[in-house]
Amino acid sequence: MASASNTPETPNAQAAGSSAPDGEPLLAVHGLTKLFPVGGGPFRKPSSFIHAVDDVTFRLGHGESLGLVGESGCGKTTVGKLLVKLLEPTGGEILFRFAGDSAGAATEAPWDSAAISGRLLRSCGRRVQMIFQDPYASMNPRRTIYDIISEPLSVQGMGDVQYRVDRVLEILTLVGLTPAGGFLFRHPHELSGGQRQRVAIARALVIRPSFVVADEPTSMLDVSSRTGVMSLMQDLATELGVAYLYVTHDLAVARYMCHRIAVMYSGKVVELAETEELLRNPLHPYTKALLSAVPVPDPGHRRQLPDIRGDLGTPIDPPSRCRFHERCPAATEHCLDHPHPPMEEKTPGHLVACYEV
């Protein structure tokens, strides 16, 4: 049963368009910032701000999968929500360029910008979807599987009932819920966790988006269903040409799912590199600590001690110096006096935000 067909394939790094500098990326995020006000009211000014996402910049190629890794509270989920417009950014740009756009309208408006709203946003929704962490809570328990999966089609007015039924049956078969007809009128609570997350994937992919934000889609699943969902997501990515932003706290899962990994700390991306490069040769002290803290299922394995102190705090009006400064084992006077380090390319494709590398 453990055949090669249900094995997560090695992500094909060459397929990732973003590493090639001349290729047009699908998504370019530039200086993305989200501040949450603290203590404000309808008629009061907020006293301070949580810098949930602070000046985040990255690019994502067509069909590429980028892992966004960090501890809870580091702002990784906020980035995902900003990309699908569940939140409005405080600053910065989110630029999409979808495959079809290059032909006609591309010359005048090559980018969909973060500023679009209202009806435009909805047409943008056809290209950008999201898979949520909790397969239980992210589905309306009163609706049937058909209602849930066809929702993107029906709210965007695509096709008649027969067309939607056909699309839903097709996508159910694609995500491995067969016979598809038997699932149409079930309710989410009649399905297991793994099956529900397959339904969530089906809902995200039914309108054939170019880009999907996957927010910890496997963290609540059992080991045996997790691998199946992971390999399904990879198969569908290659088949349908979907690009993923894979938000996760689990570096081991990101290793299997992503071409590249960005490590976030306290609202900032501190390191970004190809997956194996990042795991073998981490440069930022935080990435090193994070990697050495991951338990390994091999009983004989001895890990290095992660040598960072304290806890990740909430970044309320943080000082301008390096966010990791207080916990950093390598911090120097230089780090104390200078602003948060910029992302620099240390080796080709390996970006780090640290003065001491």
Partner 1 sequence: MNTSGPVAPIPTPEFGVEIGRGRVRFVLARLRLMWRSFRNGWGIFMESRMGRLSLFTIIAFALMAAAHPILMAFVWDPATYDPVTGYSFDQVEQPAPPSWKHPLGTDPLGRDVLSQLLFSTRSEFVLGITAALVTVGIATFVGAVAAYYGRLVDSFFMRLADLIIALPAISLLIVLSALFHLNLFYLALIIGVLGGFGGTAIILKSQALSIKVKPFIEAARVAGGGDFHIIFVHIIPHLLPLALLYMMFTVTSAIFAEAVLSFLGLLDLRMSWGIMIHTANTGGYLLGGTRYWWLIVPAGASITLLCSAFYLAGRALDEVVNPRLRQRND
Partner 2 sequence: MTDRSDSLLKVDGLSLSYQTRQGELQAVRDVSFELARGSALGLVGESGCGKTTVANCLMRLLPDNARISAGRVLLDGQDVLLLTEEEMRLRRWRRISMVFQAAMNVLDPVYRVGQQIIEAIETHGVESTDIGARERVARLFRMVGLDPQLMERYPHEFSGGMRQRAVIAMALSCDPDLMIADEPTTALDVIVQDRILRELKAIQQPLGMSIIYISHDIAVVAEVTDVVGVMYAGRLVEMGDTADVFRAPAHPYTAALVSSFPSVSGERRPLTSLPGEPPNLSDLPPGCPFHPRCAYATDVCRTEYPPRAASGSRWAACWHPLDATLVPQS
Per CB under 8 A, residues contacting partner 1 are 1, 3, 5-6, 42, 81, 84, 86, 122, 125-126, 128-130, 132-134, 137-140, 142, 144, 151-152, 155-156, 161-162, 165-166, 169-170, 173-182, 184-185, 192, 194-195, 198, 200, 203, 225, 228, 231-232, 235, 239
Q: Spell out the residues 6+ positions from residue 31 whose beta carbon is closer than 8 angstroms to its own.
A: 55, 56, 57, 91, 92, 93
Q: Is 13 near partner 2 (CB under 8 A)?
A: no
Helix or strand (DSSP H, E) at 238: helix 223-240
Residues 291, 252, 80, 128, CA torsion sign: positive
State the minimum distance, in angstroms, from the CB of residue 266 to partner 2: 13
- The answer to whether 18 and 60 have CB atoms below 8 angstroms apart is yes
Greatest distance between any 2 Cα atoms in the chain:
67
Query: Does residue 289 belong to the site contacting partner 2 (CB under 8 A)?
Result: yes
Partner whose footprint covers residue 251, from partner 1, partner 2, none (CB < 5 to 8 Å by kind)? partner 2
Strand order across the 91-96 sheet: 48-60, 27-38, 91-96
The two three-digit tokens of residue 74, written as one number: 């580091």
Cβ proximity to partner 2: between 8 and 349 the closer is 8
249 binds, among partner 2, partner 1, none (CB under 5 to 8 A by kind): partner 2
Lay out the site mask for partner 2 across 15-34 (x = CB under 8 A, - = otherwise): --------------------
Q: Starting at the edge strand that comes first in sequence, how are the strands of the sheet with 128-131 ordered?
A: 128-131, 211-215, 243-248, 65-69, 260-265, 268-274, 350-352, 344-347
Residues 103-162 that bind partner 2 (CB under 8 A): none
* Binding residue for partner 2, selected from 28, 158, 291, 357, defined by CB under 8 A: 291
Through-space distance between the first and last CA atoms of the chain, rounded to whole angstroms? 46
Site string for partner 2, 62-91 (x = CB under 8 A): ---------xx-------------------
| The two three-digit tokens of residue 350, written as one number | 């390996």
Binding residues (CB under 8 A) for partner 2: these are: 1-2, 4, 6-10, 71-72, 192-195, 222-228, 230-231, 249-253, 255-256, 276, 279, 289-301, 306, 308, 311-312
